[in-house]
Amino acid sequence: MTDGVVERSRPRDRILETARDMFHKHGIKGVGVDAITEAAGTNKMTLYRHFESKDELIVECLRANAAKAGAMWDAFEAEFPGDKLAQLHAWVRKAAAMLNADGRGCDMANAAAELTEPDHPARLVIKELKEAQRERLVALCRGAGIGQAELLADTLSLLFEGARVSVQTVGAEGPSTQFVRMAEGLIVSFRGTAAG
């Protein structure tokens, strides 16, 4: 499992990585700090030497997720330099792959569902990342020469978000199976009305 992480790395990194994994699988309120530290091969005191509270650990985990997502966008640019349309199609493929990865939805969305306090520190991070992802998608659509770039980006964004919660509720054999078809169809449709 996470033994590879446990083996050789700093306790802080092991805790962060283990917490990300366990929060993803079991939810935030479904995992205690004791369970995290034990799975990370360390102990609670060490956790509290590196993170001042569980809430801060949660925030750091979400930030780590954001960083990973950012790397994904960079990979699109690296694979298809300058070709924004190709990058957009790469995003569709990547999104579809995420749907089949496991039955769990987006960590950000799940965290938002669990952390209901309006002033919880995690909510700001969640909003920031989601807005950043939206801007990335808008930039791709605009760069691909699509007229109503914002509308297409928002539509694709909602579709993907919906597909992720769909796999979490009815499973991978539900409406989410049509995601690629929907997304590609929308891109074609929006490209056809580029002058709009």
According to CB under 7 A, which residues from 51 to 70 bind DNA?
52-55
10 binds DNA (CB under 7 A): yes
Interface with a copy of itself in residues 24-53 (CB under 8 A)? 25-27, 29-30
Shortest reach from residue 22's CB to DNA, in Å? 11
Binding mask 78-107 for a copy of itself (x = CB under 8 A): -------------------------xxxx-
Looking at 41-49, 109-117, 130-138, 175-183, which segment touches DNA (CB under 7 A)? 41-49
Token digits of residue 92: 């569709």
Q: How far is the CB of 84 from a copy of itself (least distance, A)?
A: 20
- If binding is defined by CB under 7 A, does position 44 make contact with DNA? yes
User: Looking at residue 9, what DSSP letter applies?
Assistant: S
Shortest CA distance to 190 belongs to which of 158, 137, 157, 153? 153
Q: What is the nearest approach in angstroms of DNA to the Cβ of residue 33? A: 4
User: If binding is defined by CB under 7 A, does position 33 make contact with DNA?
Assistant: yes
* DSSP track, 108-153: HHHHHHH---TT-HHHHHHHHHHHHHHHHHHHHHHHTT-TTHHHHH
Specify the residue, 57 or 149, whose C-beta has the smaller distance to DNA: 57
**Which residue lies nearer to a copy of itself by CB, 42 or 125?**
125
Closest CA to 107 of 54, 74, 61: 61
Residues 107/98, Cβ–Cβ less than 8 Å: no
Write out the two tokens for 185. 């169809």
Residue 50 sits in the site that holds DNA (CB under 7 A): yes
Cite the DSSP H helix spans in 27-53.
33-39, 44-50
